[in-house]
Amino acid sequence: MTNIPDRVPLANLPTKIEKLERLSAQLGGPSLFIKRDDQTGTEFSGNKVRKLEYSLKEALAAGHDYVITCGGIQSNHCRSTAAAAAKLGLKSYLVLRGNEPQEPDGNLLLDHLLGAQIRYITAEEYRERRAEIMESVKDKLTGQGYKPYIIPEGASNGIGSFGYYTALREIVEQEKELGVHFDAIVVAVGSGGTYAGLLLASKTLHYKADIIGINVCDDEYYFRHVIDSILQDSGRYLQEDIAYAKQDFHIIDGYVGQGYGISSPEVRQFIFDFAKLEGVILDPVYTGKALFGLVEEIKKGRFNDLHNILFIHTGGLFGLFPQKHEFINPN
Ligand SMILES: *Cc1c(COP(=O)(O)O)cnc(C)c1O
């Protein structure tokens, strides 16, 4: 494909793929593997930096000097953006949902260290008017002589989606090295860009694996719409339509629990058990819920006809610390 946009290298790539020997044996189903996108970097850690490699290349190429984005107080995306901006000598401005806490913790502490400007807005403002608010920040900064570039929530737009196009190409190379083929690739879905990028790549590279998302907020219907519009935006860069069939779209709904950012006792117990079993720490907002969901589906026999499944660990470690009280006693 010739029209893939350029990227600015930021992440530690390729990330490792490891077999989850003990969990696979315990479940007696398909072999489970994990791709360590939690190890894309320390400050960058997680999936967002792959998208930012494309967003920020676009920003740099057009001469922008300030990056504006938005998310929750503990947004991994905002922290990655603040880190990437600092690394590239750009300024960053974060519009965060929630009240300013007395002491910054987790990702928010790192946002401060990385020099991000922060504005706190209410949940309602965030839901109804975050795009407008980011535009007003842009106007203000423009008035001060800056040239700001807005990145939407999660960098989940057309340009950002190429981050996981590149990730799938990396996976194809690693399959050759490892001598395995993955029948399914599974990922947590929060703002849809990671899933959209994987689907885009699987279609354009004619890659034969089921791309499965497990949503951690909203529902399947919502994400159908979101992912569709991200892919239309990706198509603008490729200057072609991305053709995919309804059955290519595979979101497993049912593991949101009480809502975004709220983990159940079962998920917290699973995070404990998995850490002890495999030496890998999951986060309570995304990967803990998603891998818990995958394991539950395997137990139900849903993937009995598959040989190898790859779960992408999309990071989120810093988000564990502000929820530490929930983990003193998981029940
Ligand atoms: C943002 C995020 C996701 C979800 O990715 P989207 O592209 O927003 O769907 C998954 N895991 C972690 C740790 C994240 O921060």
CA of 121 to the centre of ligand 1 (A): 21
Whole-angstrom distance, CA of residue 199 vs CA of residue 210: 9
Question: What percent of the chain stands above pLDDT 90?
Answer: 95
pLDDT at residue 292, rounded to an integer: 98
Tell me, letter by letter, the H, E, C secondary structure of 242-294. Answer: CCCCHHHCEEECCCCCCCCCCCCHHHHHHHHHHHHHHCCCCCCCCHHHHHHHH
pLDDT at residue 78, rounded to an integer: 98
**For residue 42, what pLDDT band results from cuts at 50, 70 and 90?**
very high
pLDDT (average), residues 276-292: 98
For 313, the 3-state DSSP assignment is strand
pLDDT (average), residues 52-70: 98
pLDDT at 303 over 60: yes
pLDDT at residue 24, rounded to an integer: 98
Helix axes 287-299, 265-278, angle to 10 degrees: 90
pLDDT at 331 over 60: no
Per-residue pLDDT tens for 73-105?
999 999 999 999 999 999 999 999 999 999 999
pLDDT (average), residues 256-276: 96
The sign of the torsion formed by the CA atoms of 63, 155, 275, 169 equals negative
Q: Where in the chain is the domain with CATH 3.40.50.1100?
A: 17-45+157-326, 48-150
pLDDT at 1 over 80: no
Residue with tokens 């009240």: 99
For 230, the 3-state DSSP assignment is helix
**Helices (DSSP H) in the chain: which residue ranges?**
21-27, 48-61, 76-87, 106-113, 123-143, 158-178, 193-204, 220-238, 265-278, 287-299, 324-328
Residue 315 Cα: closest atom of ligand 1: 13
**For residue 311, what pLDDT band results from cuts at 50, 70 and 90?**
very high
The rounded mean pLDDT for the chain is 96
pLDDT at residue 241, rounded to an integer: 84
Ligand 1 and 45: CB distance under 6 A: no
CA of 285 to the centre of ligand 1 (A): 9
pLDDT at residue 245, rounded to an integer: 86
pLDDT at residue 259, rounded to an integer: 94
pLDDT at 243 over 90: no
The sign of the torsion formed by the CA atoms of 317, 318, 324, 328 equals positive
CA distances from 105 to 108, 115, 324 (A): 6, 15, 11
CA of 68 to the centre of ligand 1 (A): 18
Residue 191 Cα: closest atom of ligand 1: 8
Ligand 1 and 283: CB distance under 6 A: yes
Q: What is the DSSP string of 28-39?
A: TSSEEEEEEGGG
Ligand 1 and 191: CB distance under 6 A: yes
> CB 296: neighbour CB atoms within 10 A?
16
Whole-angstrom distance, CA of residue 25 vs CA of residue 94: 44
pLDDT at residue 240, rounded to an integer: 87
The sign of the torsion formed by the CA atoms of 176, 181, 182, 183 equals positive
pLDDT (average), residues 182-196: 98
pLDDT at residue 59, rounded to an integer: 98
Residue 194 Cα: closest atom of ligand 1: 7
Residue scoring higher pLDDT (329 or 200): 200
Ligand 1 and 319: CB distance under 6 A: no
pLDDT at residue 329, rounded to an integer: 66
pLDDT at residue 244, rounded to an integer: 85
Ligand 1 and 194: CB distance under 6 A: yes
CA of 40 to the centre of ligand 1 (A): 13
Ligand 1 and 154: CB distance under 6 A: yes
CA of 156 to the centre of ligand 1 (A): 10
Query: Which overall architecture, per CATH, does domain 48-150 show?
Result: 3-Layer(aba) Sandwich (3.40)
Angle at 23 between CA 17 and CA 27, to 5 degrees: 130
Angle at 88 between CA 37 and CA 100, to 5 degrees: 75
Of all protein residues, the one whose alpha carbon is nearest to atom 2 of ligand 1 is 190
- For the 17-45+157-326 domain, the top CATH level (class) is alpha beta
Radius of gyration (Cα) for the chain, nearest Å? 19
Ligand 1 and 76: CB distance under 6 A: yes
